[in-house]
Structure 1
Amino acid sequence: MSDQSNSTIGVDDSDAAASDQDDTDRDYVASLARGLEVICAFTRDKPTMTLSDVAKATGMSRATARRLLLTLVREGYAEKRDRDFSLRPKVLQLGYSALASVGILDVVQPVMNALSQRTQESIYTAVLTGDDVTYLARSTPDRVISVSINIGNRLPAYAVSTGRVLLAGESDAALERYFARLTLEKHTTNTVRSIKQLRAVIEETRECGYSLVDEELEVGVRSLSVPIYDAAGHVIAALNACCPSMRFPVEDMREKLVPELRAAAQSINERFQQG
């Protein structure tokens, strides 16, 4: 009786494992997996690709890649211009949900709120998305006059302090690829004028650990940013203060806001290191 019971248990375990595998196979949605592959095929180095490029990058047939790309276009996650496809900002909703789910926003938001009330300036957290920065979180003060950037807004990385802090955290190889494909646009008379100048500014940002941009994207706005690190010491975001130029001279920002932002960023970094 004992031997028969053991034998039966062995058969049941095997059957259960097979059943689990069957369930896994039945639950697997190949089209969803392939759609995610297509999204991930677009990178910072390849923000725009043709149908052939996507098919080659994913190993899919042109017909399959075309169906998936046109589905993404129809749903607003991608766009098509002539023969080229690229992702649209809507795809950032996926990343925003992921960041929120792992608690990053829960960590930065209370620190930002306290910093905004203490300094009475607009405070933001931004990440690098392609060649732009995307603003994930904000906290605004009680002041009537303050700088307002909406969550989800994308701005060119080269022209804003958040972007320069995040670019400074990139590897030399990644930076060279960025410089190679970059076209500078003159937003104001202060906007950085050449790749050589931008390269020097980013190197300076690496050395001093912060970036201060004086009316390079918009007249009347100065911004200051410091890096946020993950537990492994990688730059994952930028903590930013935006100020109307008429209220905050450059030297006052260096003297008063740099220590405030650094202390706030350190608090965020310590929370990430704790878990």
Structure 2
Amino acid sequence: MQNKPTYGIQSVDHALRLAAVLQQEGPLRVSDAAERLGVARSTAHRLLAMLVYRDFAEQDEDRRYVAGPVLRRPAAPEPVADLRRAAVPHLQELTERTAETTNLLVVVDDEARFVASVECEQVLRVGDRGGRVLPAHLASGGRAVLATRDEAEVRALYDDGAVDAEALLRDLRRTRRQGFALNDQRTETGVTAIGAAVPTTAVAGAISISMPTARYRRARLPEWAGLLADTARRIARDL
């Protein structure tokens, strides 16, 4: 399980978070950056200026900050910011109901990108995943999204042989039938997650509940899956 380093450098953490937001969600103004980080505008401005200096960011004609050359790769769809705004209040409620960390992610090609996390208050917990990228076929939310796609599309996505496409398709059929995907330590030892797709065509999004494997109980899967499905529907409704 990856937790925040004991001697973490806050300014570095802030800069990395801003870089992830620029890459995944698009343009930011200084006021937006300050609000996201919970810092003064002057601090946000200095952080953004350093990202510009190192080519992680640049300014567009409207003086907004956008991803720079270092961060440019296939971008997440523009509606990601709208999805985040709609989802976070529901994730907060889901975290309160489950007492576990919840996440929002989007799937771009074969990657699952974490857009937001709401941490629970338990001492032993899964930390903020915002900005992380995992293979879509391993992450619970990633597989939940892949399960909504046509099988020919999934085969084409994994036609290089690095992933056993037929085994993946069998798993996706099961995911489709049950309405959720389970990631039991596939991506990180000691972490188990349950994910469900958000039923919207605006962006390929999903939500997940992440917990220490020590607290995972198979008998509670129907309960967690039901909460995920209800939360995903409410997010889609608000979009």
TM-score (norm 1): 0.57
- For residues 88 and 131 of structure 1, the distance between their equivalents in structure 2, rounded to whole angstroms, comes to 22
Greater radius of gyration (CA): 1
Q: CA deviation at 1:222?
A: 1.0
Name 1:146's counterpart in structure 2: 125
Contact 2:109 2:157 in 1 (8 A): no
State the number of aligned residues: 176
From 149, 171, 183, the equivalent of 1:170 is 149
User: Any unmatched runs of 5+ in structure 1?
Assistant: 1-73, 78-86, 185-193
Residues 260 and 89 of structure 1: CA distance in aligned 2, closer, same or farther (over 3 Å): farther
The one-letter code matched in structure 2 to 1:91 is R
Structure scoring higher RCO (CA < 8 A, sep ≥ 6) equals 2
Please say if residues 155 and 165 of structure 2, whose CA atoms lie closer than 8 Å, have aligned partners that are also in contact: no
Tell me which residue corresponds to 1:219: 189
How far did 1:94 drift? Answer: 6.5
Q: Which has the higher helix share?
A: 1
Assess if the C-alpha contact under 8 Å between 2:194 and 2:208 holds in 1: yes
How do 1:217-256 residues align onto structure 2 when only pairs under 5 Å count? 217-230=187-200, 236-252=204-220, 254-256=221-223
1:198 aligns with 2:168: yes
Instruction: Quote the residue 1:159 is aligned against.
Output: 138
Tell me by how many angstroms 1:270 deviates.
Answer: 1.6
Q: Distance in 2 between matches of 1:173 and 1:123?
A: 31
- 1:127/1:88 CA distance change after superposition, 3 Å: farther
Q: CA RMSD in A?
A: 2.7
Q: Which runs of 5+ in 2 are unaligned?
A: 1-53, 58-67
Distance in 2 between residues matched to 1:202 and 1:89, nearest whole Å: 34
Counterpart of 1:99 in structure 2 is 80
Whether the 8 Å CA contact 1:227–1:237 is kept in 2: the answer is yes
1:158-214 CA-partner distances (Å, limit 9, x unpaired): 111111111112222211111212514xxxxxxxxx433222001111222211121
- Counting only pairs closer than 5 Å after superposition, residues 66-145 of structure 1 correspond to structure 2 as 75=55, 90-91=71-72, 95=76, 99-100=80-81, 103-145=82-124
Please give the per-residue CA displacement for 1:26-67, whole angstroms capped at 9, x wherever unaligned: xxxxxxxxxxxxxxxxxxxxxxxxxxxxxxxxxxxxxxxxxx
What TM-score comes out, normalization by structure 2 length? 0.65
